């Protein structure tokens, strides 16, 4: 009996060592996957600095996620996330659909550029994701062959987000309200990673538009009058010029 207990203890110990080893080695695998497949999904530069996963608890962390701007826009980035924390149901890691209990993003930085002729860099990014993945109907080029991995996300929370609004060659820092999205892909039995990203970005974009409008209204002609006059070409004074450009920027 004692021998059996010793054998069982050794097996448990070996199992724990194996779990720790998997958690140690899977981080670099995730980083390599994101840095390889990410640019093919977005059509822009994508880099991830580090990733950690604790298989026993199902907790994980991504650190330093950079998503570049599509071509034709002034800034080098569309999004930067210092840290993203997530928890999953551990057993779901063995299946075709990973069940995510929560994704928590604290303090992300968005850059929002609005063209005078319509559209924005975030909209361009969404279009590129959809084009590169067939709207979620096919995996991106370079992804592993076979059935695409799907995800269901019970809760997605974003807080302390900041938007840098580019207008008339100047940058305005604008806080964004907290965002909570529930049951992403739950009813469908899972959706692909690019579909999750698309749904989240659309809701973030929906917050950016009114936040940008409010910021531009608050700034007024006093702070940006000269720059706005130069862009709009209006000659009726800073107030009229600001109003015209602001309406164009907001798609009015």
Whether residue 102 is contained in a domain is answered as yes
For 11, the 3-state DSSP assignment is helix
Q: Which of 235, 237, 231 is nearest to 245 (CA)?
A: 231
b (16+ CB within 10 A) / e for 238-248: beebbbbbbeb
Torsion of CA 227, 228, 234, 239, to 10 degrees: -120
Whether residue 212 is contained in a domain is answered as no
Whether residue 110 is contained in a domain is answered as yes
Mean pLDDT within 166-175: 79
User: What domain count does the chain have?
Assistant: 1
Whether residue 93 is contained in a domain is answered as yes
The boundaries of the domain holding residue 165 are 2-205
pLDDT band at 130 (very low <50, low <70, confident <90, very high): confident
Residue 13 reports pLDDT greater than 50: no
φ, ψ at 151 (rounded to 5°): -135, 145
Q: Which of 202, 9, 35 is nearest to 122 (CA)?
A: 202
Instruction: Specify the pTM.
Output: 0.69
Mean pLDDT within 22-40: 72
Residue 12 reports pLDDT greater than 60: no
pLDDT band at 17 (very low <50, low <70, confident <90, very high): very low
Give the model's pLDDT for residue 211. Answer: 86
Whether residue 243 is contained in a domain is answered as no
Contacts by 191-196, CB closer than 8 A, 24 or more apart: 191/136, 191/150, 191/151, 191/152, 192/133, 192/136, 192/139, 192/148, 192/149, 192/150, 192/151, 193/41, 193/149, 193/151, 194/41, 194/129, 194/130, 194/132, 194/133, 194/136, 194/140, 195/136, 196/151, 196/153
Mean pLDDT within 181-199: 89
Whether residue 222 is contained in a domain is answered as no
Residue 188 reports pLDDT greater than 90: yes
Whether residue 247 is contained in a domain is answered as no
Q: Can you name the residues that pair with 179 across neighbouring β-strands?
A: 158
Q: Can you name the residues that pair with 148 across neighbouring β-strands?
A: none
For 93, the 3-state DSSP assignment is helix
Whether residue 82 is contained in a domain is answered as yes
């Amino acid at each position: 009996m004692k021998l059996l207990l010793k054998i069982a203890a050794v097996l448990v110990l070996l199992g724990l060592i194996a779990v720790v080893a998997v958690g140690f080695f899977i981080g670099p695998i995730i980083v390599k996957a994101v840095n390889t497949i990410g640019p093919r999904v977005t059509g822009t530069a994508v880099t991830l600095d580090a990733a950690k996963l604790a298989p026993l608890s199902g907790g994980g962390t991504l650190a330093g996620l950079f998503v570049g701007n599509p071509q034709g826009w002034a800034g080098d980035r569309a999004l930067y996330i210092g840290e993203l924390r997530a928890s999953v149901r551990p057993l779901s890691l063995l299946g075709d659909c990973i069940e995510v209990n929560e994704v928590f993003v604290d303090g992300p930085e968005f850059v929002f550029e609005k063209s005078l002729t319509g559209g924005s860099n975030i909209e361009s990014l969404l279009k590129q994701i959809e084009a590169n993945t067939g709207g979620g109907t096919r995996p991106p080029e370079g992804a592993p062959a076979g059935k695409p991995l799907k995800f269901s996300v019970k809760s997605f929370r974003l807080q302390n987000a900041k938007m840098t609004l580019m207008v008339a060659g100047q940058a305005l820092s604008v806080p964004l309200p907290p965002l909570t999205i529930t049951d992403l892909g739950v009813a469908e039995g899972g959706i692909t990673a690019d579909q999750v990203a698309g749904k989240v970005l659309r809701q973030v974009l929906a917050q950016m538009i009114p936040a940008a409008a409010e910021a531009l209204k608050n700034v007024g002609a006093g702070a940006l009058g000269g720059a706005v006059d130069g862009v709009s070409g209006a000659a009726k004074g800073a107030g009229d010029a600001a109003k015209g450009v602001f309406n164009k920027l907001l798609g009015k």
